[in-house]
Structure 1
């Protein structure tokens, strides 16, 4: 079965250390190849290194973070008022704090659930593909 991918463009605001807001384009992405995860891709001009950056985290974390503070470690998500959601990404190079329109994140999440409903993810398939890749299979 071929993978199904859901992609959606979104505009975010990068919050700087000086509390400035810089507009940033992002692509929200979901694939049935990795049904437990979502991806947030940023173009090269949005990164300090001038290279495209992609963050991967649990789809359930996005769902939880739209309603209440969620996550710990490298990715944290929480509502900011009624119309925005904050995604905080930590890396060895620093911290990125981005505000997204909550409606855009909700729409993306609903589109992923239309492809693979929550709780219907093929976890066994994910494990099998991961083990195959780890041990040199195809």
Structure 2
């Protein structure tokens, strides 16, 4: 039985103000979608006033801990000794947050204990995913 992994994080929102505001966030991994992770920002921390979920590749997060990674809506890069920067690009604007690298490493360790890198395909339910695609197409 696979278990969903969720870990609360303290994200520091980079803004024009001299001090970075702390905002709560949760990083999420579901072994049924083994290639992806999600970061969720609760409604009080967003401009829209609703929970905002960003889903992106687990590999992007892993790679971004060591060197800049990503060219699309989500970009990840190391920042100093103990921080990682995540950038979330949307038509409405860009959000840049700093997260403790140790927290992200701990989370990624948990995901690889659940689904080792290279074995993600064994955890995909392709029949279910195909049925969902077909349902949406009708």
Q: Distance in 2 between matches of 1:23 and 1:7?
A: 19
Does residue 90 (structure 1) correspond to residue 89 (structure 2)? The answer is: yes
Within-5 A mapping of 1:37-48: 37-48=36-47
1:64-93 Cα offsets, whole Å, 9 max, x none, are 000000001100000000100000000111
1:46, CA displacement in angstroms?
A: 0.8
Q: Distance in 2 between matches of 1:33 and 1:76?
A: 24
Unaligned residue ranges in structure 1 (runs of 5+):
none
Measured at CA, do residues 48 and 130 of structure 1 come closer, stay the same or move farther in structure 2, by a change above 3 Å?
A: same
After TM superposition, the score normalised by the length of structure 1 is: 0.92
CA RMSD of aligned residues (A): 1.7
After TM superposition, the score normalised by the length of structure 2 is: 0.92
Q: Distance in 1 between matches of 2:58 and 2:126?
A: 17
Q: Distance in 2 between matches of 1:58 and 1:126?
A: 18
Q: Distance in 2 between matches of 1:12 and 1:24?
A: 5
Unaligned residue ranges in structure 2 (runs of 5+):
none
Within-5 A mapping of 1:111-126: 111-122=110-121, 125-126=124-125
